[in-house]
Amino acid sequence: MEILEIVLAIFLSGLRAATPLLYVLLGETVTERAGIANLGVEGQMLSGACAGFAVTAVTGNPWLGLVAGAFAATLLSCVHAFLCLVVGANMFAAGVAVWVLGGGLSAFFGIPFVGKRIDGFIPPDFGALGQLPLLGTLLRTLTPTVLLGLALWAATGWFLYRTRSGLRLRAVGESADSAATMGVAVKRVKWLAILAGGAFSGLGGAALSVDQVRNWIEWMTAGRGLVAVGLVIVARWNPWLALPAALLFGVVEALTLRMQTWGVPISSYLLSTFPYLVCLAVLVWGYVRARTRGGMPRDLAQAFARTE
């Protein structure tokens, strides 16, 4: 029973740790399905974290914080869309510019909020279900950002594979020229996909600052946005596989934190690298599978090929 409780505790901690990453992963999946890669999600996530924390600290309402985080990151994603779709800049260079811009702006505007704490969200009351031995433990950890992330995970999978708009978006990513001949407004679809990716990454940043750590620290995302870009390959650009991919990072991160409390004789600095090392190993495996079995949107694959 004790082992089962430890495994359940690690899983639940992993689920909460994976939630911000899940938002960003879903957004990047939608963007790349339209044939555009966005390395700027790290900066967008930081802007969402900063705006979300600032609005929550001022108003005391974490829901307004989530909205502000999504809005701030969407504004920043407009820069990426403008550079790629209007100026015609290289999407990877434009993404790096957005990344640096988001990091700098969030560091500047976040100065008044460094060291402050907020209350964040309170888990919903599940009544009698919340008192059950194992199910109750699970339900009590499900904060609104976790539930919203799971709902958006299902909604994104339904949108991409069960709606005509999702079909148009996937068609644009496979071949923009063919989609244009069928009457699809290619640029508009790509604009909307990039903006949606921005909103998702802002939600991920706000979920991190408002709900998970409940404070603001400069560069607090610690590379989660870039990890999400890599995990899109592991998930094979399929939103249904985004949840297990995000859980991989979250569970390993929770396990490393638990190992520190167990007193494992490994430097905490080395332990903190384990989630990234595991994701890197899985990313290499996923990239090899993607090259041999396909799955990458065709136009995006051509963009990668031009950089090799």
DSSP summary character for residue 36:
-
User: Is residue 307's pLDDT more than 60?
Assistant: no
Taking residues 127-132, report their average pLDDT.
72
Phi and psi, residue 110, nearest 5°: -90, -5
The strand pairing partners of 117, in sequence order, are 215
Say if CB 79 and CB 208 are below 8 A apart. no
Assign residue 123 a region: left if phi > 0, alpha if psi is -120 to 50, beta otherwise? beta
Phi and psi, residue 57, nearest 5°: -65, -35
Q: Give residue 295's pLDDT.
A: 67
Q: Give residue 260's pLDDT.
A: 80
Helix (H, G, I), strand (E, B) or coil at 215: strand
pLDDT tens digits for range 71-103: 999 999 999 999 999 998 889 999 999 999 999
Question: Lowest-confidence range among 75-84, 139-148, 196-205?
Answer: 139-148
Using N-to-C axis directions, what is the helix angle for 2-33 and 41-59, rounded to 10°? 110
CA dihedral 212, 215, 218, 221 (to 10 degrees): 0
User: Read out DSSP for 257-284?
Assistant: HHHHHHT-SS-HHHHTTHHHHHHHHHHH
| More confident of the two residues 10 and 21 | 21
Taking residues 275-290, report their average pLDDT.
75
Phi and psi, residue 215, nearest 5°: -155, 175
Taking residues 191-208, report their average pLDDT.
96
Taking residues 283-297, report their average pLDDT.
70
Q: Which two tokens stand for residue 297?
A: 């949107």
Which CA distances in Å does 287 have to 103, 123, 225, 292, 295?
A: 28, 38, 18, 9, 10
Q: Give residue 292's pLDDT.
A: 65
Q: Give residue 294's pLDDT.
A: 63
Q: What is the pTM for the complete model shown?
A: 0.90
User: Is residue 308's pLDDT more than 70?
Assistant: no
For the chain, what is the mean pLDDT? 87
Q: Give residue 191's pLDDT.
A: 96
Helix (H, G, I), strand (E, B) or coil at 222: coil
Assign residue 294 a region: left if phi > 0, alpha if psi is -120 to 50, beta otherwise? left
